[in-house]
């Protein structure tokens, strides 16, 4: 592969075809070519069934393309790795472990250093008080923060988020977005966020990738050039509205 020096993830002519129950086939992703730079924040948007989750699963190494290749830091992805962390909407935590144990789970190292890291992430995500509770005792927002802490503690180079805030109400969503941006700044990871909230996609990302379904293809890539750090106030600016309107008008009917 011709390596772009600062490329983190690259989809190269990726097509993923699934067989349905009746023996037909569904092209979830077709001829996807996309290079994501190190430290870049990408939002993936598009109607249901356009292949967003499929692309995340391919990047996570939980699935393989039918044809084409997915590269991460110059190597062809062949399976999952803690370097590429996936967070989805149905909060991924082990119900039989406490909040603290859940956060510590992925850490290879043990001992004082590990304890320090766990403490730090619990504090960062506002979960210290609930360290010894079980996930079922947490609210939706707290569970989502737990899911992010579990994934981020191993300092993944690539963070894959599949509609992580979909179940949260508007005010919780806002504080979760800010927390996410802070965690991303701290770890300098590359991010792909799948969201159905178009405003969120523009506010958080450097580029918004719009997909269309049947077959799942990239329809448009839109730069979101707003100044950083991003805040909710920017959603009232003409710059924001211009990008947002472009996205809305490009969205498949």
Indicate whether 28 belongs to the interface with ligand ADP (CB under 6 A).
yes
CB of 54 to ligand ADP, least distance (A): 3
Helix (H, G, I), strand (E, B) or coil at 142: helix
Pick from 93, 162, 85, 157: nearest CA to 127: 93
Q: Is there binding between residue 53 and Mg ion (CB under 5 A)? A: yes
Site map for ligand ADP, 157-196, x if CB under 6 A? ----------------------------------------
Residues binding ligand ADP: number (CB under 6 A): 12
Of the two residues 89 and 234, which places its CB atom closer to Mg ion in the complex?
89
Q: Contact at 8 Å (CB) between 190 and 37?
A: yes
The per-residue b/e assignment along 94-119, b for 16 or more CB within 10 angstroms, e otherwise, is eeeebbbebbbeebeeeeeeeeebbe
Interface with ligand ADP, residue 212, by CB under 6 A: no
The alpha carbon of 12 is separated from its chain's Cα centroid by a whole number of angstroms, namely: 19
Query: Judging by beta carbons within 10 Å of its beta carbon (0-12, 13-18, 19+), is residue 174 exposed, middle or buried?
Result: middle
Q: How far is CA 241 from the centre of its chain?
A: 23
Q: Is 201 in the site for Mg ion (CB under 5 A)?
A: no
Does residue 50 interact with ligand ADP by CB under 6 A? yes
Which of residues 56 and 118 has its CB atom nearest to ligand ADP in the complex? 56
Is 198 a residue that touches ligand ADP (CB under 6 A)?
no
Among 12, 15, 26, 97, contact with ligand ADP (rule: CB under 6 A): 26
Q: Please tell me whether residue 52 binds ligand ADP under the rule CB under 6 A.
A: yes
Q: Between 18 and 94, name the residue whose CB sits nearer to ligand ADP.
A: 18
Q: Does residue 144 interact with Mg ion by CB under 5 A?
A: no
Q: Which two tokens stand for residue 87?
A: 């967070």
Are 241 and 54 in contact by the 8 Å Cβ rule? The answer is no
Q: Rule CB under 6 A: say whether 49 interacts with ligand ADP.
A: yes
For residue 119, is the peptide bond before it cis, meaning its omega torsion is within 30 degrees of 0? no
Q: What is the binding site for Mg ion (CB under 5 A)?
A: 52-53
Q: What is the binding site for ligand ADP (CB under 6 A)?
A: 18, 20, 26, 28, 48-54, 216
């Amino acid at each position: 592969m011709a390596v772009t020096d600062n490329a983190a993830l690259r989809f190269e002519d990726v097509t993923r075809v699934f067989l349905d129950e009746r023996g037909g086939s569904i092209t979830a992703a077709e001829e996807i070519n996309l290079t994501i730079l190190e430290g870049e924040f990408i939002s993936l948007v598009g109607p249901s069934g356009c292949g967003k989750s499929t692309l995340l699963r391919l990047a996570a190494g939980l699935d393989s393309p039918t044809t084409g290749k997915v590269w991460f830091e110059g190597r062809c992805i062949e399976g999952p790795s803690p370097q590429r962390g996936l967070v989805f909407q149905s909060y991924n935590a082990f119900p039989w472990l406490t909040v603290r144990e859940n956060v510590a789970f992925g850490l290879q190292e043990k001992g004082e250093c590990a304890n320090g890291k766990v403490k730090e992430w619990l504090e960062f995500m506002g979960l210290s008080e609930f360290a010894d509770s079980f996930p079922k005792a947490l609210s939706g927002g707290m569970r989502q923060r737990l899911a992010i802490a579990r994934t981020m503690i191993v300092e993944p180079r690539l963070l894959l988020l599949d509609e992580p805030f979909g179940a949260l109400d508007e005010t919780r969503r806002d504080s979760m977005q800010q927390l996410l941006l802070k965690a991303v700044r701290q770890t300098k990871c590359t991010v792909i966020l799948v969201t159905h909230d178009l405003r969120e996609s523009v506010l958080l990302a450097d580029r918004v990738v719009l997909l269309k379904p049947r077959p799942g293809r990239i329809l448009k890539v839109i730069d979101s050039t707003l100044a950083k750090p991003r805040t909710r106030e920017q959603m009232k600016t003409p710059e924001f509205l211009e990008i947002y309107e472009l996205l809305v008008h490009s969205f498949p009917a």
